[in-house]
Structure formats: structure tokens, C-alpha cells
Structure 1
Amino acid sequence: MRGAPTILHLDMDAFYASAEQAAKPSLRGKPVVVGGIGPRGVVATASYEARVFGVHSAMATAQARRLCPNAAYLTPRFSLYRQVSDAVMGLLGELSPLVEPLSLDEAFVDLEAGGVEPSTEAARAVGERLRRDIRTATGLTGSVGLAGSKMLAKIASEQAKPDGLVVIEPGTELEVLGPMPARAIPGVGPATAETLRRAGILTVADTAEAGEDELVRLLGRAHGAGLYALATGRDDRPVVAERDAKSVSVEDTFEEDLTDRLRVQLELARLADRCVRRLREAGRSGRTVVIKVRRYDFSTLTRSETLRGPTDDPTVVREAAARLLDGVDTTAGVRLLGVGVSGLADYTQEDLFAQAASEATQAAEAAGPKESEEPAEGTDTAPRPRRWLPGLDVRHAEHGTGWVQGSGVGRVTVRFEQPWSPPGRVRTFAVDDPALEPGEPLPLVRPPAGPGRERSGEAQPGEPGEPGPAPEPAPGADPVPSPEGSPSPDPVDPGRRRP
């Protein structure tokens, strides 16, 4: 335990939802829920406006819709969240060489390692400056906790939410910790909490008073001794700058169980390609391929295969995943599939035969089907319609950039606005409109004006102009119902439902 509060914990406020509100002016101040939007979806983050209604992360989206039917339910945009996270982590890196990221929106920082004077005043000044810098760089808010240990710094940031800073002075640890529930201690999950509850241990103070011997008897030597140290305020865990990932993985939960074997194989191949893209973005390779299959009855199977050397070749990973799937019965239905790669390395040692096969496959795909080849009987050769998921970025050849507000019955409703514009206009198009295409996330803070881009108030190319009366929908187009059949968001106020 340090004598000064020089361990900082940053936690961005309702990160995904706040980023969406910053990107979409029409949603500011309104309830926003980010996560899976299908019947089996799960809430990733809820804005503070949605939390008032009882919506929280890890809740089933269906339950969230019952609690807060007027919220905007959006698909996550991880490319945007990573951009913002990189900017925030860059600011943390300017404070100290010892930054320990826990997730995209959360990290510990050792301020002493960055040369900050070990005093409350100096640490508080750094924390306040960090909050200002984050708001300037990203337009978002973060909560900061300062303490002499990692556990207390994290507790302090929780107390600071939203958009605040709390310092826990060394020497006040037991006073702060005592009244808190035992679940506040790191490592106390539902099972441990239930064991403690049956023994009459409900708070951190109860845990400390129980004594180390009793906790060891209840929980075992390692867990009991560690829990006693934390309950009495002793936490000497250092801030670790490098947290090396042990694996890279992706998974999808399907709105309806997959029973067609070919569809399962195609989805697994798609996930394998996504996994390899992530692997390459991280500059890594791996030698063990893992698949995860959750069946209709929630039973979950995992299968793995270790290759002769590390790889980042999509064909190698696809083929390994396909071999693993061969040993899994999927006839009764699959609700979730996942592909992962572990045994990570910073280099590749490719199987030359697999590499040659990959190159041949890529060349064949580039050349297209031979003239003499005909599609197999029963194969659907019609192009699949594009899916316009709520919240995703789009660009229209005439109207510029915007985001999907809703889609259904062959139409898609788009709101054309940018992070720095007023709330934008709404238009409805056919889902196959050739002028409409997927877009890329815009920065949340307007780039500084440069040559030829004066801030005169005129709309720049691709930007919406000043808001006027909402335009009429396309001829014959009515407001688009949501996929679930509930009323669509009002075109002017998406937080309000039409009767």
C-alpha cells in the first residue's frame, strides 16, 4: 500500500452508448442501448438515460425492450470504439510508461512511474487534466479514481461515476471499505459471495472480522488468504504495462437455430476469416485453432487442433475449423458458433503445402467460375439482400453520410447527420437502392479546419445542411416498422414511439 494516491483508474462512462450519442446528435439526452438487437441479443452498454428504467449490461435485449421500449437499440460499431480507445490510451501513455489496459474503456496507470510527485495534490491535478484532455480529444467523459492500491483506485472510480474524480486517501481504506458488500472485493464472484453469505459474512467489514483462518477454512488456502488481505486494505499488486493476449477469438449468436449443415459450415468459415483478420491486425499468429459450438439446449462443446507451426493464413484456419466441425453433431440446431486461435506468436511458420493450397484457392477465386461450371442443383445463386442494421454507418450518393435508423419490409430509414451537425433529416429508401452503401465511422470531434475548409457555417460536401422541416419519405414509402413488429421510432424524435 502506497503512502500517496498515485495509482489511477480510468473508466469511461457508459462507453459504447456515450460514443453513439456523441456520433448521433438526434440521440443526445435520450435512452440508448447498444448490443445484440435480435431476440437472443444481450445488452453491451446502456446510456444513463436507459439505466433509469432498469436496463443494464448483460441483460437480455428482449427484457430491456420491455423495460424501456422507447430507447434507440443500436448494433455495436467496434471500429469506432477502438478508434476512441486508441486516443484515450494514447493520453494515458503520456502520463506514465506503466499503463495496464483492462478493456477498451478501462485502465490502471502508475503515476509515480511517470514522475508525478507522490502527493494528493499532484495526483488530483493529473487526474483532472486527464479528464479535460479526454473530453477535448473524444467528446466523451471518463471517471477517475485515485488511491494507493489498484483495488481502491477502481472502487474510487466507481464512486466517481459519472464524469467525476474521487480520491481515497491512504489511511482511510478500512473506513471506506467496511460498509461495502463483500462482492466489492476483487475475486468475489457469485459462488464465493454465496459461500460467505451462508457463513453470515455480508460486508467487507464482516470479511475482515472473520479472520484469515476462517476464510481459509471456507474458501481454501490461496483464495482465503488473498481475500483476507484485500478485505483489510492490503493490495500490493503492481500496475503491469504489458498484458499479452493469450488468444484471439470471435463468435456469433444466431437469431434462429441453424439446422442446415451447409449453413453451419459457411458461418464457421466466415468466423474463421474474421478471427484471422483480428489476428493480423494484432500482428500475431497462432498454432492452435479452437471452435466453440453451443447447441439448441445450451450445451456447449469446444474442439481444438494444434498445427505444426504458428499461422495467420485464413485458409489454414478455415480448414482446421472445418475438420473440427466434422466431429460435432449439429442436426438438432446450433445457436452459437465461435472460432479462436491460441498459442500466439509474433512470427509464422507456414505449412508449405497449405500455403500453396491457399494461393491456388485465392487465384481461383480471383478468376471466378469457369464457363463450363454450373451451379449445383438447389443452389441459390441470387445475391443476398443487404442487411441494414440499426446504428450502422451509411453513405448516400446524393444525401451524404448518415446512419440506419430502422429497416424492414424492403425499406431502410436513414438519418443524415454527423457528430458535429445539428440533428439531421430522415429519408426512406429501398433496401437495394444502388445509391446507398455502407459507410465508415466519422471521428466524434470535428477535425480542425484546413485550407479550403473554412468554418463559415456552410455545409461541407457530404455533410447535412442546417436542419429544416423533415422531408417527405420516398414516394409510396411509409415509416419503417422495426423488425420485431413494434412501432418505429418517430423520424424527428427517435426516443418517442408513434402510437
Structure 2
Amino acid sequence: MSKEVTRKIIHIDMDAFYASVEQRDNPDLRGKPLAVGGSDGRGVIAAASYEARKFGVRSAMPSLVALRKCPTLLFVKPTFEKYQAVSKEINEIFSRYTSIIEPLSLDEAFLDVTYSKYELQSATLIAQQIKNDIRNELDLIASAGVSYNKFLAKIASDQDKPDGLFVITPDEGAAFMEELPIEDFFGVGKVTAEKMKANNIFKGADLLPYSKWELQQLFGKTGGFLFDIARGIDHREVQSERVRKSVGAERTFSKDVIGEIDINEKFSHVFDTWWTRYEKHGIRGRSVTLKLRNYEFETITRSITEPEFVTDKEDIRQKLDQILHESIVEGVPLRLIGVSISGFELEEEEKEVQQLTIW
């Protein structure tokens, strides 16, 4: 990427967000291993404090497993309305520095500060000031990654947690990517990572001998992205108004569901909820995914991509019924069923932003 188009991207990631908010609001919880989530036999950890992470407690972990790892673990039930309110306060801090903000979730966002509102000319100093504002005004800790593209900014924010500030300059990007393990590539899932390892690709440098065409043959559309990012190249813009990538509905059951009749009944409720949301969304998609999770927390996803946009409720229901029937293992209970759709009509356009500031 030439110097003329180098951008200044910050990725802010709140440290142990839900747990930190709870510890902030209840001093008795500070300094103690804390999990946000249900503590009963079917509970799942939504967030864990850093004190709990020292014991190996992680988000998405079943509560019973977490308790075995940390018998002194404390639990609080999540209050998402509170987290949403705090997230809004954090975004108000972001808006002091730039209007180009792309939230990824309640606790993280990309900021393009190439044309920052603030008097500071350094993205690194702006990131530090944002961290200071969050600490001083909200009594919370954030980590920040600073770089010339979204991928590297996201990776950077995870390098020095908690309370980190890590910078990858344009001169450092390619060399940094050469040493990055493929498991740490943002957006590369477990299946793709295993396929990469099967082809003796273990870190960024191992991708460099491959042509873009060869990587596309191995990994499909992801191959082109891998070719670029292995060289530290990512042209994606920070989208201040993100296009929604999927519309879905899923339900985790209080009791395991077993037997085709009961499963079909539960699926009908999930399907109807999803279809209502899809119609309300107003933009048609083509790729529909069925998601199932069994009592051992194994997740199965099955997708179909239609040649035309999905508009016929009964037709897609019949196709999903067939996939569901083929995916059910007799005698294996389910704890979650979900349906989602992606591949929408509108595609985000990639643009380039010219750099005006210095590091």
C-alpha cells in the first residue's frame, strides 16, 4: 500500500467488558474471579473477569466446566440493558475524535482517525487519549490497536491485553504478518485453520510462496484475502453505517429436546421467528444456514445457497425440513436450533482513503 493511501485505523476493545462493568458497579466483586452468566447446570459463560481467566475460564464455556476449573468462581446474571447503556457512553467518547466509527459489538469498534476531529496529529496519541477518557469517565479499561488497516488494527488490540496499546506501522506490517500464527488471523475459523495446516501453512510467511490463484483454489473466496493480508494489505474501509450481513433467530432450550416430533415443533417456532425478522429486514438474501447444537456442545451448521433470492416461505421451509431430518442423530438431544440468512442484494463497496496525518 502506498504512502498516499495509508489510513489511520484504531481498534478499541473493552477488556472483559460485561464482567468489568459488574465489578465497577459492585466493589465487593472487584479483584475476584467473576463470570457473567447462569450458574445452573445448563448455564454458559457470557464473559469472565481476568481473575477468572487465570484459571482457564472463558466465554462460551459451560458453567459447570468453569466451576471445575475455578471452584471459587462468582456468578452474576447478565444485564444487557446496562451494557448497552455503557456501550453508548463509550461511543459518545469515540465521536469526539471521529465520525467514522464501525461498531462490531457492544464492546469493540473500529475508528478511522485519518481525518480526526481532534487536534492531535498522531493516531497513537488519539488511541491513548480515548483509553484515558474511558478510564477516567467510566472507570473501565480498554485495549487499543493502531495500524494502517482494519485487519492489523484488530490484531494489534489483542497483543498486549489488558490495558494494552499496540502499534503496527506501515513499515512493520508485512514483517509482522510473516510471523503471525494462522490461528491468530482474525476471521480465519477452526476449519480453515486446520486445512491450512494440512497444507503446511502455519504462519503468514508460509502463505507467501502461493499465488493468489492457488490460494483461491485451496480456500475459495478467502484465498484472495489471505494472499493480500499475508503481505499486510487490507483495503476495507471503516464503515460508519454497516450493512447487516445476516438475519437470524436461534433458541437455546431450558431442557434438551429429543425425538423428531419435539425437534420439529421447536424448529417451527424458530423458523417462524426467523422468517418474520427476515421479512421485516426488507432485503432479500440467498444463503440460508441451519444451526444445531447438541447436549455435548457440538455445533453443526448446514447451508444452502439458492440460485435466486429467497422469497417463498414454504419452499425454503421444505428444504430446511429436509436438512434438519438429515442432520438429526437418533437418540442425541439438542440444546439449540437456529436459522439465518445471508448473501443479501446490497454489497458494500470498497473505497480508498488518502492519508493526511503522520504517525
Instruction: Tell me if both proteins adopt one fold, taking TM over 0.5 as the criterion.
Output: yes
Higher alpha-carbon deviation: 43-52 or 213-222: 213-222
Are the structure 2 counterparts of residues 259 and 212 from structure 1 closer, same or farther at C-alpha, using a change threshold of 3 Å?
A: closer
Partner of 1:57: 59
In structure 2, what is the Cα distance between the partners aligned to 1:58 and 1:266? 23
Q: Pick from 77, 80, 87 the counterpart of residue 78 of structure 1.
A: 80
Are the structure 2 counterparts of residues 274 and 73 from structure 1 closer, same or farther at C-alpha, using a change threshold of 3 Å?
A: farther
Greater RCO structure (CA 8 Å; 6+ sep): 2
Shift of 1:169: 2.0
Contact kept? 1:294, 1:301, Cα under 8 Å: no
Higher alpha-carbon deviation: 18-27 or 172-181: 172-181
Is 2:181 the partner of 1:181? yes
In structure 1, what is the Cα distance between the partners aligned to 2:93 and 2:114? 16
Contact kept? 2:7, 2:112, Cα under 8 Å: no
Letter in 1 for 2:177: L
Are the structure 2 counterparts of residues 205 and 100 from structure 1 closer, same or farther at C-alpha, using a change threshold of 3 Å?
A: same
Letter in 2 for 1:141: I
In structure 2, what is the Cα distance between the partners aligned to 1:213 and 1:224? 7
Partner of 1:163: 163
Partner of 1:103: 105
Partner of 2:244: 245
Letter in 2 for 1:27: L
Q: Whose helix fraction is larger, Structure 1's or Structure 2's?
A: 2
Are the structure 2 counterparts of residues 234 and 336 from structure 1 closer, same or farther at C-alpha, using a change threshold of 3 Å?
A: closer
Partner of 1:123: 123
Letter in 2 for 1:228: F
Which runs of 5 or more residues in structure 2 are unaligned?
A: 305-309, 345-359
In structure 2, what is the Cα distance between the partners aligned to 1:271 and 1:218? 35
In structure 2, what is the Cα distance between the partners aligned to 1:42 and 1:167? 34
Shift of 1:291: 8.9
Contact kept? 2:144, 2:164, Cα under 8 Å: yes
Shift of 1:97: 2.0
Are the structure 2 counterparts of residues 264 and 213 from structure 1 closer, same or farther at C-alpha, using a change threshold of 3 Å?
A: closer
Cα offsets for 1:66-102 (capped at 9, x unmatched):
1111111232221111111111122222322211111
Give the % identical residues: 38
In structure 2, what is the Cα distance between the partners aligned to 1:206 and 1:266? 46
In structure 2, what is the Cα distance between the partners aligned to 1:274 and 1:88? 31
Aligned pairs for 1:90-489 (under 5 A) are 90-115=92-117, 119=121, 122-208=122-208, 210-212=209-211, 215-216=214-215, 219-220=218-219, 222-246=221-245, 249-258=248-257, 334-338=334-338
Q: Secondary structure at the match of 1:37?
A: coil
Shift of 1:334: 4.8
Q: Secondary structure at the match of 2:251?
A: strand
Q: Secondary structure at the match of 1:33?
A: strand
Are the structure 2 counterparts of residues 198 and 87 from structure 1 closer, same or farther at C-alpha, using a change threshold of 3 Å?
A: same
Higher alpha-carbon deviation: 284-293 or 231-240: 284-293
In structure 1, what is the Cα distance between the partners aligned to 2:151 and 2:291? 33
Contact kept? 1:54, 1:67, Cα under 8 Å: yes
Contact kept? 2:37, 2:77, Cα under 8 Å: yes
In structure 2, what is the Cα distance between the partners aligned to 1:217 and 1:270? 35
Partner of 1:388: none
Q: Secondary structure at the match of 1:85?
A: helix
Which runs of 5 or more residues in structure 1 are unaligned?
A: 310-320, 345-499
Cα offsets for 1:142-166 (capped at 9, x unmatched):
1111111111111221113111222
In structure 2, what is the Cα distance between the partners aligned to 1:227 and 1:274? 33
Contact kept? 2:155, 2:185, Cα under 8 Å: no
Q: Secondary structure at the match of 2:88?
A: helix
In structure 1, what is the Cα distance between the partners aligned to 2:119 and 2:295? 57
Partner of 1:43: 45
Q: How many residues align?
A: 325
Shift of 1:224: 2.5
Letter in 1 for 2:169: E
Shift of 1:28: 0.4
Letter in 1 for 2:159: Q
Contact kept? 2:144, 2:166, Cα under 8 Å: yes
Cα offsets for 1:439-463 (capped at 9, x unmatched):
xxxxxxxxxxxxxxxxxxxxxxxxx
Contact kept? 2:12, 2:110, Cα under 8 Å: yes
TM-score (norm 2): 0.72
Shift of 1:268: 7.7
Contact kept? 2:14, 2:108, Cα under 8 Å: yes
Q: Secondary structure at the match of 1:101?
A: strand
Are the structure 2 counterparts of residues 27 and 215 from structure 1 closer, same or farther at C-alpha, using a change threshold of 3 Å?
A: farther
Question: Cα RMSD between the aligned structures?
Answer: 4.3
In structure 2, what is the Cα distance between the partners aligned to 1:127 and 1:216? 35
Are the structure 2 counterparts of residues 196 and 340 from structure 1 closer, same or farther at C-alpha, using a change threshold of 3 Å?
A: closer
Q: Secondary structure at the match of 1:112?
A: coil
Shift of 1:132: 1.8
Letter in 1 for 2:107: D
Contact kept? 2:248, 2:339, Cα under 8 Å: yes
Contact kept? 2:57, 2:70, Cα under 8 Å: yes
Letter in 1 for 2:336: L
Q: Secondary structure at the match of 1:95?
A: coil
Are the structure 2 counterparts of residues 38 and 286 from structure 1 closer, same or farther at C-alpha, using a change threshold of 3 Å?
A: farther
